[in-house]
Amino acid sequence: MQITGQNAYDSGTYTNMFHKLGYSEQEINTRLELTWNELFYGDEQTRIYYPMGEDKGYLLDTGNHDVRSEGMSYGMMMAVQMNKKEEFDRLWNYAYTFMQHTEGRYKDYFAWHCKPDGTRISQGPAPDGEEFFAMALLFASNRWGDGDTPYNYQEQARKILRACIHQGENGEGDPMWDPETRLIKFVPESPFSDPSYHLPHFYELFAIYADGGDQVFWQEAAAASRAYLHTACHPVTGLSPEYANYDGSPAPIQPHGDYRHFYSDAYRVAANVALDWEWFRKDQWQVEQSNRIQSFFSDIDVSDYRRYTIEGEAFDEPSLHPIGLLATNAMASLAADGPHTESFVHQFWNTPMRQGERRYYDNCLYFFSLLALSGRYRIY
């Protein structure tokens, strides 16, 4: 198969799936603004953003009642995409002040979760936060320009990327990318990865904006991650495990649980693959993979979403985040060309955000899918 169409990076044109399927620009813009306002300023059953004092704010993981580097960096990406500088700066100032290490083995990394008041619960980092922090900061620099510390966005991003590659070269600590394979780790100390952490579309841009000596590394990381996902995603079902070895096979059972199966973390893979196709269109496999994941879920109602083996066998355990899974299945339509693309987009459009205790993760994935399917998840 030949790769067709021009990618968004070169053309500056983004696919608006909702408009293609008959929704008006006014409907789409109104939906985006309303959803942003509900997510950031809605009632207590919907909102996940909370301002703090005069210059900070945080996204709350409502299921675990903590603040995570994942959510903070997601919130910053949402804000820069929506051109919401005040919320962006508040989130970044919270993360910079309370979560980012200034010394030791984790210097320039972020504690992966805190109490809402900023007290760290764990010191260790989770690399998906760092890559989203860096990308959101670079977009902020390009969209709004740089200010005084900590709002010198580009240098803050470069500092994070520098640590991700070079930590431990001059003493204590570990890098977040495995130096040999160029693959992102689950945590800096781990000998395995998480397929949903792989964002080759981000690495393509890091290769432009990172320190000059690191740009080739990021080009190689983008290629390595694309190849890795071929091995981590099942060739028939398209399902991937939550944690996987560097060869793509499911990682062993961990002390904190069994992550060999398709469950919460793994939902993000479909979204990441689709956005990489939309932005750079370098790997035809991404079209086939997106068709596979949509085909697998095409006959399963959202209320029946489960935990699955990567071969597709369902456990008697419901999905913890079914709305999030629907959102990523719909976002796969940016790359898919099979028979299910339209139905998933319509189904997603007609599904409201989740409310209640477990809403945080679902609605982060929901908002990213809403941005992507409306052509508003863009490179700045």
- Check residue 38 and give its pLDDT: 98
Cβ partners under 8 Å of residue 372, min gap 6: 271, 274, 275, 278, 331, 334
Helix-helix angle 268-279:200-209, to 10 degrees: 50
The answer to whether 73 touches 92, Cβ cutoff 8 Å, is no
Cβ partners under 8 Å of residue 301, min gap 6: none
> Could you tell me if residue 89 is inside a domain?
no
> Could you tell me if residue 267 is inside a domain?
yes
Q: Are strands 314-318 and 306-308 parallel, antiparallel or unpaired?
A: antiparallel
Q: What CATH number does residue 363 fall under? A: 1.50.10.10
- Check residue 1 and give its pLDDT: 43
Q: Which positions are annotated as active-site residues?
A: 70, 265
* C-alpha dihedral sign at 87, 199, 67, 104: negative
Closest listed residue to residue 272, CA positions, set 306, 225, 208, 308: 225
140: tokens are 């902020």
What span, in angstroms and rounded, lies between the C-alpha atoms of 219 and 204?
6
Whether the predicted model's global pTM rises above the 0.95 cut: yes
Burial (CB < 10 A; 0-12, 13-18, 19+), residue 5, is exposed
DSSP-assigned letter for residue 211: -
The answer to whether 109 touches 167, Cβ cutoff 8 Å, is yes
- Check residue 135 and give its pLDDT: 99
- Check residue 5 and give its pLDDT: 74
> Could you tell me if residue 288 is inside a domain?
yes
How many domains, in total, are found in the chain? Answer: 1
261: tokens are 């199966």
DSSP 96-137: IIIIB--SSTTTT-B-SEE-TTS-EEE----HHHHHHHHHHH
The answer to whether 370 touches 377, Cβ cutoff 8 Å, is no
Residue 184 bridge partners (DSSP)? 177
> Could you tell me if residue 195 is inside a domain?
no
- Check residue 3 and give its pLDDT: 59
Closest listed residue to residue 366, CA positions, set 19, 40, 39: 39
> Could you tell me if residue 246 is inside a domain?
yes
What span, in angstroms and rounded, lies between the C-alpha atoms of 158 and 141?
11
What is the per-residue pLDDT across 283-333, written as a single tens digit (0 to 9) for each?
999 999 999 999 999 999 999 999 999 999 999 999 999 999 999 999 999
> Could you tell me if residue 371 is inside a domain?
yes
The answer to whether 164 touches 203, Cβ cutoff 8 Å, is no
DSSP reduced 3-state for 58: strand
Q: Cβ–Cβ contacts within 10 Å for residue 108, how many?
A: 20
Residue ranges with strand state E in the chain: 49-52, 56-59, 67-68, 113-114, 120-122, 306-308, 314-318
Q: Are strands 56-59 and 49-52 parallel, antiparallel or unpaired?
A: antiparallel
Which stretches of the chain drop beneath a pLDDT of 50?
A: 1
Cβ partners under 8 Å of residue 217, min gap 6: 165, 177, 182, 207, 210
Q: Cβ–Cβ contacts within 10 Å for residue 231, how many?
A: 15
Residue 346 domain boundaries: 1-42+235-380
347: tokens are 């189904």
> Could you tell me if residue 48 is inside a domain?
no
> Could you tell me if residue 344 is inside a domain?
yes
* C-alpha dihedral sign at 156, 157, 160, 165: negative
